[in-house]
Chains A and B, each alone.
Chain A
């Protein structure tokens, strides 16, 4: 389809490519319209999987059904559940620390534009260093403890969270700050009534992004040296070559992570709609 059709006509391919920002969407498209294509893809993938599984050695590639059975069995195993809870606990702690520290640092640094720029640059450079490589350093300093795992998860999510907040601090409209100045508002009013609401939608974006990262960081830490948690389960399954368990576990991890991510995304959409013009 070339762009050389009438702009504004019903079949205008250009219009269909113009994505409407979330905040301005009034009508939601019919649920079936949004859910159908991904569902189709999902079904197709399942079918392909089933075919491969039937053709290949069942030890190597378990069928989808076998994986489901395995998952149900796992959830009835108290050891598995204990590991699951351990991971959830560590992820929660690491995540809360990440969000709080990221926001606080972002606020503190973001008020001075020059400092904002310097810190953002430094963090960006640090971000390029693969965490996995820093991981032995963590071990050396903190030893094999839960704190190390929390720190590892934190290290995965902190920089993106802070960068998002720092970027947001740069986008507060100057006129809004001038309004606050002309009213001679005290600092705490400026902070809570102007600064925080102005960047709230970015904070929620950062929260969504950093959750997945923190989660993976914790699981990775567990895989590498943990004594409890889903990562440990995964490593065990890998070493025993239990394919069914591996795939099942990967999906379980994905689902557990998807639920909060979905909620955070909803939160993000809500604040963007409400807190931005």
Chain B
């Protein structure tokens, strides 16, 4: 029974556990005491270490890849250089931020419109699929010819590209109010404004957070891409210029800084989202 005296029954005891398939086990919360987030961090550290090793040991030549430490070193140097900051980084960050904010605000407004008017929704829906397949950056040259190169055309392009994802996600959020809550609101005779503030928007926060995070990614992509292709300033241009001039160090440093921007932006957004969702169970 419970007291396991002889080795034979011990062996049977342990082997009996293996007949239960592995895929049935409950999901572990930590492995070796660390949560998934920490492990993801470890993944990136290992990646950096691999890059370091590959370059130092000559597996990849220095014209193609530089050691991680050198990349980080150069990036730090750039971040400390005033000219880089004021002429390249800060203007780019400003563009990204403005694009992001505009995309979120306009996206939410459009989602509201879609939600209010079913005609509008039916009219616009088919074009939304179309949106992601259009090479929108191809319209950039047209904009340049019409308005001139510069921040305004970059912003127009970036905002239009990013607001769609905010709109679609927010709309899904608006649509997801549980039936029981809808009926409760009706029975309480909530006025429209109150309904918006107390039910619709709070319910849509997780969906809006998803949209916002994507809008940030797309804003970064669009701003940097347009700077890359056709611009004379900004971080995107910096990377492109470095590539054209075979300046591998600057190029990778620029890429690294872009990754940092994306990462920091994501973390900030996640932090804000957590704050807003404090009352919810963790997914």
Contact = CB atoms under 8 A, between A and B. Distances in A.
B183 A224 contact: no
B49 interface: no
A92 to B, nearest CB: 15
B28 A254 contact: no
Interface stretch (B75-83, B102-110, B216-224): B216-224
Interface string B186-211: 11011110010000000000000000
B43 A18 contact: no
Nearest to B40: A121
B43 A122 contact: yes
B263 A125 contact: yes
B3 interface: no
A234 B20 contact: no
Interface residues of B, number: 76
Contacts of B145: 60, 241, 243
A17 B114 CA distance: 10
Interface string A165-185: 000000000000110110000
Contacts of B64: 140-141
B123 interface: yes
A215 B133 CA distance: 7
Contact of A113 (B27, B134, B142, B258): B27
Contact of A114 (B27, B135, B177): B27
A257 B133 contact: yes
Interface in B225-251: 225, 228-229, 236, 239-240, 243, 248, 251
Contact of B24 (A16, A133, A178, A249): A178
Nearest to A139: B243
Contacts of B40: 118, 121-122, 125
B5 interface: no
B133 A127 contact: no
A18 B118 CA distance: 11
A195 to B, nearest CB: 9
B185 interface: yes
Contact of A249 (B115, B138, B221, B251): B138
B90 interface: no
Is chain B's interface secondary structure helix, strand, loop, or mixed overall?
Answer: helix
B58 interface: no
Given A38-B125, A213-B132, A133 B229 contact: no
Nearest to A256: B133
Interface stretch (A3-11, A100-108, A144-152): A3-11
Contacts of A249: 138
Interface residues of A, number: 69
A129 B126 CA distance: 29
B175 interface: yes
A3 B195 contact: yes
Nearest to B132: A212
B122 interface: yes
Contact of B36 (A121, A127, A224): A121
Interface in A239-277: 241, 243, 246-247, 249-250, 253-254, 257-258, 261, 265
B127 interface: yes
Contact of B127 (A19, A41, A220): A41
Nearest to A135: B228
Given A131-B221, A136-B239, A181 B135 contact: no
A234 B138 contact: yes
A219 B135 contact: yes
A39 to B, nearest CB: 8
B266 interface: yes
B229 A122 contact: no
Nearest to A123: B40
B259 interface: yes
B57 interface: no
Contacts of B139: 250
Nearest to A174: B24
Contact of A243 (B115, B129, B142, B236): B142
B142 A127 contact: no
Interface of A: 1-7, 14, 16-19, 33-34, 36-38, 40-41, 60, 111, 113-114, 117-118, 121-122, 125, 127-137, 139-141, 177-178, 180-181, 190, 212-213, 215-216, 219-220, 223-224, 234, 238, 241, 243, 246-247, 249-250, 253-254, 257-258, 261, 265
Which 9 pairs, one residue from A and one from B, show the smallest C-beta to C-beta distance? A37-B123, A113-B27, A257-B133, A128-B262, A4-B189, A130-B221, A117-B36, A121-B40, A132-B225
